[in-house]
Amino acid sequence: MATKKICVFPGDGIGPEVVREALAVLGTVEKISGTCRFETEKDLLGGASYDVHGVPMTDRALALARASDAILLGAVGGPKWDVLPFEVRPERGLLTLRRELGLFANLRPAVVFTPLVDASPLRRELVEGIDLMVVRELTGGIYFGEPRGVKTIDGVETGTNTEVYTRPEIERVARMAFDLARKRTGKITSVDKSNVLESSVLWRKVVSEVGAKEYPDVALSHMLVDNCAMQLIRNPRQFDVMVTTNLFGDILTDEASMITGSIGMLPSASLGGKAGLFEPIHGSAPDITGRGVANPLATILSVAMMLKYGFDMPAEAAWIEGAVERVLAEGYRTGDIHREGEGKRVGTTEMGDRVRDAVQKLSQKR
């Protein structure tokens, strides 16, 4: 039996609560599948690490991540740490982890589960059947470019961030996106701001060249980011795979999350290095921490992405995805996706229990 080592960073806020449920689902998959053993080891990241060690990520935590086959993360950050110097805020630990592990591509699916069609703020006919994938470049762009910082220049306090992309950075994330598009509908949209930004001029040029030379069977279109933000609401069905920069991807995927009904439903996978990083796209939600009401489904679905993209276990990933669909179809809802008078409102633990039970039932139909 194969063994996979998983580094677990529960993180801050609701992170430990949703990670607990996701690991329990993974444990159920392990027992049923019988083909792979999962070894997990936990460490601190983000604000939790700062509170204990004075840094958002220790050398030991980074070494553990490097020695693992995959990393599962809950969430980092929160108002508690907003007063800290920028270089030791919780988010710096996550950014460093992405950079040090070479995780240059962030896959963020936005899927509208049939039972949640009416939870979307958009009309049913706009969102029914939506299944799109945003590929966000993750280790370049304005989040990492130099120079950066806040300085006083000629007596004026000035904040600076630099948007920088190189050809190799664009080529590698474009190839990953084209590969995904080829396996899906054969359609990809590249999103930039090439009418204003020189970095986007290069982005569009390189993506076009990669598509023409290496993926002639994939239909490529380009869209400016402001138009894309509008089109996501106006007609989200026109998109399948989208590839874009670090900053634009961060913003557009949060917008896409609302199409699905709640940001608590969206998982993600960060790929490119030896080990992938799998995490929900939601934050630490300090306002509901410890109340047992957080939605664990995004983290559970992140485990499904780990199985699919990290461990090449698509059948087991499908059990989890099917289980989530089934539980939602049975009417179970956490507070963020619950509508008055519809379904049964449940907490974090019960939702996790329901998903595990559904995994058991679906696996028996193999």
Looking at the structure, tell me whether residues 69 and 88 fall in a common domain.
yes
**Positions marked active-site:** 143, 193, 226, 250, 254
Which neighbouring-strand residues pair with 42?
Answer: 8
Tokens 């995004």 belong to which residue? 298
Whether 97 and 190 share a structural domain: no
Do 203 and 341 belong together in one domain? no
CATH number for the domain harbouring residue 219: 3.40.718.10
Cα 179 to Cα 186: distance, rounded to the nearest angstrom: 9
Give the pLDDT score at 271: 97
Do 68 and 174 belong together in one domain?
no
Residues 99 and 109 both lie in one domain? no
Query: Which domain-ending residue is among 237, 262, 287?
Result: 262
What is the reported pTM? 0.92
CA atoms of 82 and 203, how far apart (whole Å):
33
What's the rounded Cα separation, in Å, for the pair 281 and 268? 6
Residues 212 and 279 in one domain: no
At 218-238, the pLDDT tens digits run 999 999 999 999 999 999 999
| pLDDT, tens digit (0-9, with 9 covering 90-100), for 84-95 | 998 999 999 999
202, 237, 262 - which closes a domain: 262
- pLDDT of res. 339: 81
Q: Report whether 136 contacts 272 (CB < 8 A).
A: no
C-alpha neighbours within 13 Å on the C-beta side of residue 6? 25
Domain residues for the domain of 22 are: 1-104+272-366
Other Cβ atoms within 10 Å of 295 Cβ, number: 28
267 in a domain, yes or no?
no
Q: Which of 333, 231, 277 is nearest to 105 (CA)?
A: 277
Tokens linked to 219: 């239909």
129 with 231, same domain? yes
Place of tokens 């050398």: 59
The answer to the question of residue 151 being in a domain is yes
Tell me, yes or no, whether 194 and 295 share the same domain: no
What is the residue-level pLDDT of the chain in tens, covering all 366 positions?
799 999 999 999 999 999 999 999 999 999 999 889 999 999 999 999 999 999 999 999 999 999 999 999 999 999 999 999 989 999 999 999 999 999 999 999 999 998 888 888 888 888 888 999 999 999 999 999 999 999 999 999 999 999 999 999 999 999 999 999 999 999 999 999 999 999 999 999 999 999 999 999 999 999 999 999 999 999 999 999 999 999 999 999 889 888 887 888 999 999 998 999 999 999 999 999 999 999 999 999 999 999 999 999 999 999 999 999 999 999 999 999 888 877 899 999 999 999 999 999 887 766
Distance CA 126, CA 256 (A): 13
* Same domain assignment for residues 288 and 246: no
How many domains is the chain built from? 2
Are residue 223 and residue 312 in the same domain, yes or no? no
Kindly state whether residues 9 and 141 are assigned to the same domain: no
pLDDT value for 342: 78
168 and 125 fall within a common domain: yes
**Tokens at residue 240, please?**
């399948």
Decide which of 238, 262, 286 is a domain's last residue.
Answer: 262
pLDDT value at residue 323: 97
Report yes or no on 220 lying in a domain: yes
